[in-house]
Amino acid sequence: MRMPVLAAALLLAAAAPSPVPSPSQIAAAAPDADWRAVDPDRLLVMELADGRRIAIELAPDFAPAHVANIRALARSGWWDGAAIVRVQDDYVVQWAGAGGRHLPDGVAAHPPAEYDRPAAGLVLRRLGFPDGYAPMTGFAGDWPVAGDGHRIWLTHCYGMVGVGRDMPPDTGDGSELYAVIGQAPRQLDRNIALVGRVLDGLPALASLPRGTAALGFYAEPGQRVPIRRVRLAADMPEAERPRVEVLRTESASFHRYLDASANRRDPFFVRPAGGTDLCNVRVPSRIR
């Protein structure tokens, strides 16, 4: 079989250390001090009925009321026996609670529309390349963000998790969530509360059969993908918790990773772009 896109680069790297590492090689070589362990109180673990697990880091710094709701929903067993109900190609995977509409105690029915927040109090490390949607983009607290100097907001990159809502903006309570599985739908930025991102297990969601009803909903209940349960890692027995780490975006390793992403000099490439897009720079994560 012919050697395909990028395979050659990998094999060459294996044969003799490349003088110019790829972004993923830079991340893999980052020292332990450059990684941040995700707090178990900020880690949501979804188990599909077939046993596969999806680990989601929550973002209380951006959507505290929604994250409080999601923690309360998880603790109440809201998603035990729930299901994935929608998979729209190049867009989102969405899951709903198993029960009806009665929210458990401690869950706010109408949290504020946390679509952005004041820029003050967060350091936005700028990407430094133009963006089609916002005056500036970059990373804050290791999250992909955009901003306008006054406000700052999470961006709808691949793997980001948001809150489904009805038409009025304050109707998203966190009881239905979606994850992005396509080209970043950044038209949704500042229109929906983003609450986290999938750090492990995303391929299990992105490879699900697409729904054939309008908007990618599964046409038949039997097509839905059953969810066993969703728990906060802090509520799991310690031995069962996934230990997820994120590369610190203020680290020297991340700076090198970013530079290498925008200027591919590893052997496969003949012409580095000299730029990149916020959502094409996935913040590296790993499982310990």
Return the residues of window 135-174 that contact a copy of itself according to CB under 8 A: 157-159, 162, 164-167, 169
Dist CA 142 CA 35 (whole Å) = 11
> With respect to a copy of itself, which residue has the nearer C-beta, 60 or 267?
267
Dist CA 85 CA 93 (whole Å) = 8
Return the range that interacts with a copy of itself (CB under 8 A); candidates 27-35, 36-44, 93-101, 250-258: 93-101
Residue 209 as a binder of a copy of itself (CB under 8 A): the answer is yes
Which pair of tokens denotes residue 173?
A: 């309570």
> With respect to a copy of itself, which residue has the nearer C-beta, 112 or 275?
275
Query: Exposure of 80 by Cβ count < 10 A (0-12 exposed, 13-18 middle, 19+ buried)?
Result: middle
Dist CA 140 CA 124 (whole Å) = 5
Residue 21 as a binder of a copy of itself (CB under 8 A): the answer is no
What is the number of other CB atoms lying within 10 angstroms of the CB of residue 53? 14
Dist CA 22 CA 265 (whole Å) = 8
Largest CA distance in the chain: 60
Looking at residues 101 to 120 of the shown chain, list those that interact with a copy of itself (rule: CB under 8 A).
Answer: 101, 113, 115
Dist CA 138 CA 118 (whole Å) = 15
Return the range that interacts with a copy of itself (CB under 8 A); candidates 50-58, 68-76, 186-194, 250-258: 186-194
Q: Figure out which of the listed residues 69, 94, 253, 285 binds a copy of itself, where binding follows CB under 8 A.
A: 94
Return the range that interacts with a copy of itself (CB under 8 A); candidates 25-33, 80-88, 225-233, 250-258: 80-88
Residue 203 as a binder of a copy of itself (CB under 8 A): the answer is yes
> With respect to a copy of itself, which residue has the nearer C-beta, 17 or 132?
132
Residue 131 as a binder of a copy of itself (CB under 8 A): the answer is yes
Q: Figure out which of the listed residues 39, 41, 90, 240 binds a copy of itself, where binding follows CB under 8 A.
A: 90
Q: Check: CB of residue 163 under 8 Å from CB of residue 176.
A: yes
The tokens 């925008």 sit on which residue? Answer: 262
